[in-house]
Amino acid sequence: MKKRHLLPLFTLVASCLINMAYADELPGTPASTNTPGSAYPRILPDNRVVFQVKAPEADRVAFQTDKTYPATKDEEGTWTVTTDPQAPGFHYYWLVIDGVQVNDPSSETFYGTGKQTSGIEIPEAGDTGAYYDFQDVPHGEVRERWYQSSVTQGPRRFFLYTPPGYDQSPDTRYPVLYLQHGGGEDERAWPIQGRVAHIMDNLIASGDAEPMLVVMERGYALRPEEEPIPFRMGPDVSMDELNRQMLKRFASFEAVIIEDVIPFIDSQYRTIPDRHHRAIAGFSMGGFQAYMIGLQNLDTFASIGGLSGTGHFGPGDIDPETYYGGALADTASFNESMDLMFFGHGTQEPDRMMAGFNAFHANLSRIGIDHVYYQSEGTGHVWLTERRNLRELAKRLFK
């Protein structure tokens, strides 16, 4: 290697070391989601965030988190802004440079909002968030698996959490939770943004949850001859139409779960292959999928969970005689056959979602469906709500 090739590498390393030393003199602390050696974004003691980026040729720079924060440029071309206090938990964000959305080069990126996006983790005070942080307990694994789908006629991927001791206990069989992500995310969301492994490890170690497998699939699927179905929302779209759209849009994904994934998991891993040891749940869009798939396949699942997601959009009444083919028509029989119906959401979810959530809970109560109802105090449609939802769901599964 010629010496001139070493200069850029030396300059980069020196720059990182200088930034790390300089960071010790700045207020607040670097976010845990920063790229290695990046001093910004910085989290202040009151949870305000200081964002910074060097863009000397730009005319306008802003950071978009809970709202848009225009940044100020210094003489060296560095743009800086301090936000309002941010809620604890994980949040997507991005820069807007001269009207163009771009990712922050100082942040790790995460697949969310339909694309790779910058993200920031705001820590909770004290040990409130300890249940989703790394603890000195026995640990399971998150495994990546590819398979050939008979439904889509192509390769697909899922992630699988195996509990502590799975490989060391060859005679032990386990129940399975099928856990789905939200819209604009994919199968990486629960392992990364959701911190599923830490949550499950800690719950199992404390005895609050049964050891289980957790399968996390991609919530989109098309058969070879199938065209993508546009998803229309807005004030001119009725709730009935929205429900019809969702049922049609996810029919092929339901087939993937029932025809591909469950048989694959039961054949490749040590499961207890019956409905009482099989649950399905999901966040937002994944919650709708969980109710849709679960209620249409009651011979497969005895536990269903909606995590800021319901089996019906909007504030209208559910007719138990027609809802998912009359799945709830015989209330007594349904309640007796089910192990768990779970529904949880944040108290600060968007108004339109809250109207639907309140109506869904009221509908289940009116019909007489036994269910666990959980509210995450002070949180919205964000990953902190879903980490709490998963904690409450997992504690009740397979008991």
- Specify whether the CB–CB gap between 129 and 141 falls below 8 A: no
pLDDT of residue 324: 92
Question: What does DSSP say about strands 115-122 and 109-112: parallel, antiparallel, or unpaired?
Answer: antiparallel
Residue type, 189: A
Order across the sheet with 278-283: list the strands: 141-148, 155-162, 213-217, 176-180, 278-283, 303-307, 340-346, 372-376
pLDDT of residue 160: 98
Q: Is residue 121 within 8 Å of 33, Cβ to Cβ? A: yes
Residues of the chain with pLDDT under 50: 1-23
**Cut 0.85: pTM above it:** yes
The pLDDT of residue 192 is 97
In this predicted structure, what is the pLDDT of residue 248? Answer: 80
What pLDDT does 5 receive? 46
Residue-level pLDDT at 236: 67
Q: What is the pLDDT of residue 221?
A: 95
Dihedral (Cα; 85, 87, 92, 93), 10-degree rounding = -10
What is the second-level CATH architecture of the domain 130-396?
3-Layer(aba) Sandwich (3.40)
Place of tokens 């699939």: 217
pLDDT at position 10: 42
Cβ neighbours of residue 173 under 8 Å, at least 6 residues apart? Answer: 270, 271, 272
Tell me how far apart the alpha carbons of residues 37 and 279 are, in angstroms, rounded to a whole number.
42
User: How many CA atoms within 13 Å lie on the side-chain side of 242?
Assistant: 18
On whether the 27-122 domain is CATH 2.60.40.10, my answer is yes
What's the pLDDT score for residue 316? Answer: 80
Q: What are phi and psi of 398, to 5 degrees?
A: 60, 30
> Which residues are within 8 A (CB) of 146 and not within 5 positions of it... i.e. 6 or more apart?
155, 156, 157
Q: In terms of Cα–Cα distance, which of 366, 329, 374 is closest to 347?
A: 374
Structural tokens at position 84: 């309002």
The reported pLDDT for the residue numbered 246 is 76
Domain boundaries, the chain: 27-122, 130-396
| pLDDT of amino acid 9 | 41
